[in-house]
Structure 1
Amino acid sequence: MRLRTVLATATAALAATTALTAAAPATATPATPAAVDSATHHACSPSVSIDRFSDALDKTTYEGTFVGNFSALAVDRDGSLAALADRSSLFGLHARTLQPERVVQLADEKGAALDSEGLVVDRDGTRLITSETEPSIRRYSRDGRILDRLPVPSSLLVAPAGRATSNQTFEGLTLLPGGRTLVASMENAISGDSTDLVRFQTWTRTKGDHFRLGAQYAYRIDAGLGVPEVQATPDGRLLVLERGFTAGVGNTVRLYLADPRRATDTSGIENLTGQAGVRVIKKRLLADIADCPSLGATAKQPQPNPLLDNIEGMTITGRDRGRLKVLLVSDDNQGATQTTRFYYLRVRV
């Protein structure tokens, strides 16, 4: 999402199985001067440490396409990284060096560009991709052909068709372990809901690898923040990024562990106003990224920690000694004051 300035002050249980969909881990070790490596893990909190970061792709191009504007990451079936730009480009990156190896241009049914935000590589290698424009979720082939389009509840459509605010819709997308349940996170609240409650919509896989609408859940965001990304953990819980921006101060980015399994299905509730009897998704703070060591990073604008930028994408690339290896990426909005930066975390859940 092309992030607006946001003041930082301002179940039905999910049927999740417990085996993570197989994918080759991406154990990237950027070999550039912009990459910082360490033999030890650097603590951001008791649950999260950062190994290193890489600015290797900042302000670069590949085959005439700007490399940046990244909004989502996924591990592809061949072990490479799929990196989605919010301006209708899907890159394939080398898992170790991050160097681009391919790029595919995406479009809607009329050939128009997408505001592409969320990404899942499905078990057959096709791509499920959200666009904030309507919002929508489409299935694409590896070469960018539209294969399917998923239904979206009318209330989540952008006004006047629905109650969502433009540019505040489907930012995060993830497939729960077992591959039967898809989850999309709205970035911010829809009209009529409490401003601190965002909706997570699910879909259930049907025959032919189509998806039908499933349950919906409420997630409570911190004041002034929104949800740019969600990622399923191997046990069916969710890693949730919350993010905001304050002019002159910089970004706030927090990583939460969320458990939707006992949350209330809110698909039949017109207005979420904190009413009794509605159980929201439980969450627990894993780390505020501002508390990570800066590792020598520099920032192009004021930040609470120079390591911070407009972090928007996240994927789990593997496991190591009981911790999840989590890769984050920032969206530089193709601007001079922001950086395309990759962050290599280890997370204990």
Structure 2
Amino acid sequence: MRLSRSITASVVMSMAIGVVLAQGAAHAGSPGALSRDCSDLVRIRAFSDDLDKKTLDDVYVGNLSALAVDRGGRITAVSDESYVYSLDVREKARSLSAEAVAVASLTDANGRAPDSEGLAVDLDGTRLISSETEPSVTRYDRDGTAVEALPVPAALAVAPAGRAVRNQTFEGLTLQRGGRTLVASMEGALSGDQADVVRLQTWHRAGLGKSFKVGAQYGYQADTGLGVVELAAVGDGRLLVLERGFTVGVGNTVRLYLADPRRADDVSGTEALTSDGPARLASKTLLADLVDCPSLGATAEQPQPNPLLDNIEGLAVTGHTAAGRLRLLLVSDDNERETQITRLYSLDVRLPR
């Protein structure tokens, strides 16, 4: 999602500058800079700006909005400018390197360029990609050809066709373990719902090769002023949720949560979704506020409360450590602007029970 679409908060500029300077100094010399801990549950291993302002085959490598592990271990990424990339990402001795090695353009089943925001690689190697324009979820073959459009509940369409707000629709997408359940997250609330309560839409299928059918829908309460920009399945039905916001003169807020929809109610028939209504929402646990990560020497092109931060938008689970922690890869969307950076981050997470 482009910066102009981000959820912004109004601030007093003099206070904002003071916050940036104070927090930047704190991160430069904090004990966490030695431990690499962002919290008791999350630590950052490395970051890389290798992809920033690069091109491949005369195509800009940026505007990246989602990541997924592809077959063969490479990382697939999509941009909201309708491209899919293959990335060679390597980590060694707490250093991270990345190179774009292939790129293909995307069009949907109607020949239109999608606003690609979410990505999941299916078990057969095809890609499921969400667009927040309509919104839609489309299956693409490995050459980038659209082969199937999934059904989407009418209420999730952008107004006036439905109740969704433009540029606040399908931002996150993930497949649960086994590939039978697909989950998409709305970035913002539907008209008529509580402003910070968003919907998670699921689809189910009987098995690989079968068609996805619309499934249950769950409510999730985001932090005030933040939107849900990415999901990632952890393997037991729970979901990593990335929440993000932007404040002019201060920078980005990025928080990583663990959400559990397994005991949440199906809200597909609920007209006005609220946090205190009869419907039980997905529970959530804060794993880390990324402002608390050590900066690792990173620099920012605009004010940030921690120079490591940028417009982080993509998240993928890439494996496990020897100690059983999840290994994560995150990416920021530079919106093709000089004031933002395409940055990759490698983290590991210890999941609470």
CA distance in 2, matches of 1:220, 1:55: 32
Q: Which residue of 1 aligns with 2:333?
A: 331
Shift of 1:210: 1.2
User: Structure 1 residue 284 and structure 2 residue 278: aligned?
Assistant: no
User: Structure 1 residue 83 and structure 2 residue 77: aligned?
Assistant: yes
Conserved in 1, the CA contact under 8 Å of 2:63 and 2:79?
Answer: yes
Conserved in 2, the CA contact under 8 Å of 1:9 and 1:224?
Answer: no
Q: Which residue of 1 aligns with 2:41?
A: 47
Q: Which residue of 2 aligns with 1:33?
A: none
Conserved in 1, the CA contact under 8 Å of 2:7 and 2:227?
Answer: no
For 2:225, the aligned partner's letter is G
Shift of 1:98: 1.9
CA distance in 2, matches of 1:340, 1:314: 13
Shift of 1:112: 2.0
CA distance in 1, matches of 2:137, 2:99: 27
Deviations 1:36-60 (A, max 9, x none): xxxx861000000001100001000
For 1:67, the aligned partner's letter is V
Deviates more, 1:62-71 or 1:102-111: 102-111
Shift of 1:275: 4.5
CA distance in 1, matches of 2:167, 2:245: 14
Conserved in 2, the CA contact under 8 Å of 1:5 and 1:246?
Answer: no
Q: Which residue of 2 aligns with 1:342?
A: 344
CA distance in 2, matches of 1:151, 1:117: 17
Higher helix proportion: 2
Conserved in 1, the CA contact under 8 Å of 2:189 and 2:197?
Answer: yes
User: Structure 1 residue 186 and structure 2 residue 186: aligned?
Assistant: yes
Shift of 1:78: 1.3
Q: Secondary structure at the match of 1:43?
A: coil
Shift of 1:277: 2.2
CA distance in 1, matches of 2:220, 2:137: 20
CA distance in 1, matches of 2:88, 2:108: 27
Q: Secondary structure at the match of 2:98?
A: coil
Shift of 1:209: 2.8
Q: What are the residue-to-residue correspondences of 1:23-38 with 2, within 5 Å?
A: none
CA distance in 2, matches of 1:7, 1:60: 28
Q: What are the residue-to-residue correspondences of 1:122-141 with 2, within 5 Å?
A: 122-141=122-141
CA distance in 1, matches of 2:248, 2:59: 29
After the TM superposition, which parts of structure 1 deviate over 4 Å for at least 4 consecutive aligned residues? none
Deviations 1:160-195 (A, max 9, x none): 110101110000000011111000000000100000
Q: Which residue of 2 aligns with 1:121?
A: 121
Shift of 1:9: 7.7
CA distance in 2, matches of 1:230, 1:212: 20
The TM-score with structure 1 as length reference comes to 0.89
Shift of 1:130: 0.4
Q: Which residue of 2 aligns with 1:202?
A: 202
Conserved in 1, the CA contact under 8 Å of 2:10 and 2:248?
Answer: no
For 1:334, the aligned partner's letter is E
Q: Which residue of 2 aligns with 1:56?
A: 50
Shift of 1:95: 3.0
Q: Which residue of 2 aligns with 1:239?
A: 240
CA distance in 1, matches of 2:216, 2:206: 15
Q: Which residue of 2 aligns with 1:248?
A: 249
Deviations 1:205-257 (A, max 9, x none): 14633100000000000000000000000222100000000110100000001
Q: Which residue of 1 aligns with 2:66?
A: 72
Conserved in 2, the CA contact under 8 Å of 1:118 and 1:173?
Answer: yes
Given the superposition, is the C-alpha separation of residues 129 and 59 from structure 1 closer, same or farther in structure 2, using an over 3 Å criterion? same
Shift of 1:5: 4.6
CA distance in 2, matches of 1:170, 1:91: 20
For 2:294, the aligned partner's letter is P
Q: Secondary structure at the match of 1:98?
A: strand
Shift of 1:332: 0.2
Aligned residue pairs: how many? 321
Given the superposition, is the C-alpha separation of residues 145 and 237 from structure 1 closer, same or farther in structure 2, using an over 3 Å criterion? same
Q: Secondary structure at the match of 2:179?
A: coil
Q: Which residue of 2 aligns with 1:322?
A: 324
Q: Secondary structure at the match of 1:209?
A: coil
Shift of 1:131: 0.5
Deviations 1:238-288 (A, max 9, x none): 000000001101000000011110001001111113353211110000000
Q: Which residue of 2 aligns with 1:148?
A: 148
Deviations 1:124-145 (A, max 9, x none): 0000000111000000000011
Unaligned runs of 5+ in 1: 11-39
Q: Percent identity?
A: 62
Q: Which residue of 1 aligns with 2:157?
A: 157
The TM-score with structure 2 as length reference comes to 0.88
Conserved in 2, the CA contact under 8 Å of 1:232 and 1:238?
Answer: yes
Q: What are the residue-to-residue correspondences of 1:283-322 with 2, within 5 Å?
A: 283-320=284-321, 321-322=323-324
Deviates more, 1:109-118 or 1:133-142: 109-118
Conserved in 1, the CA contact under 8 Å of 2:87 and 2:99?
Answer: yes
Q: Which residue of 2 aligns with 1:27?
A: none
Unaligned runs of 5+ in 2: 12-33, 91-96
Deviates more, 1:326-335 or 1:93-102: 93-102
CA distance in 1, matches of 2:266, 2:235: 22
